[in-house]
């Protein structure tokens, strides 16, 4: 893997799952050239979500966010690649879909901030924290893709 390769945590929220967007979202990350190293389809517990969103605990929307995120299944994923955290955030679009450009996931599939279908780590540090919260080390698969040399110099 290239010297600056990193991992990010991406989660498709209950609205993205209910709307049947799992395949479209995975496809965008695969087509970009990132490598999927972990994936879970689960009903997240309120305890897990409270830990995940701990930085937002003092915000007025926090209780509703935790309740909403535990209202249906989510898809938790770890993607790996060069600058995947920053690039992944660009691919997601702005938190508020109204500010997201066409071609981004939120720009193409969302209207309201409370139903923005996807979460992505905002830094390498938060990615590492989120990955360890959602996945055990043995659940992360390490392999070299046969496309590696066609994606990286």
Site of tokens 């930085």: 55
Contact between residue 117 and residue 18 where contact means Cβ atoms under 8 Å apart: no
Alpha-carbon span 69 to 66, nearest angstrom = 5
**CA angle at residue 107 from 103 to 108, to 5 degrees?**
70
Q: Assess contact for 109 and 91: CB atoms under 8 A.
A: no
* 125 in Cβ contact with 7 (< 8 Å): no
Smallest CA-to-CA distance from 42 within 6, 12, 67 is with 12
Concerning whether 52 is annotated as a catalytic residue, the answer is no
Active-site residue among 7, 35, 52, 119?
A: 119
Which positions make up the binding site for ATP?
13, 61, 89, 95, 106, 116
**Which residue, among 99, 97, 85, 91, has the nearest Cα to 28 in the 3D structure?**
91
Active-site residue numbers?
119
């Amino acid at each position: 893997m290239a010297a600056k390769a990193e991992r990010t945590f991406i989660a498709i929220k209950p609205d993205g799952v209910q709307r049947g967007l799992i395949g479209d979202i995975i496809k965008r990350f695969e087509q970009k050239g990132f490598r999927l190293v972990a994936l879970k389809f689960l009903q997240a517990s309120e305890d897990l979500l409270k830990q995940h969103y701990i930085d937002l605990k003092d915000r007025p929307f926090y209780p509703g966010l935790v309740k909403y995120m535990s209202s249906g299944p989510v898809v938790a994923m770890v993607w790996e690649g060069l600058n995947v955290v920053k690039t992944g955030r660009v691919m997601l679009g702005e938190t508020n879909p109204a500010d997201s450009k066409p071609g981004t996931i939120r720009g193409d599939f969302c209207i309201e901030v409370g139903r923005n279908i996807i979460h992505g780590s905002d830094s390498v540090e938060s990615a590492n924290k989120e990955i360890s919260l959602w996945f055990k080390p043995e659940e992360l698969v390490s392999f070299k893709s046969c496309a590696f040399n066609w994606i990286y110099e």
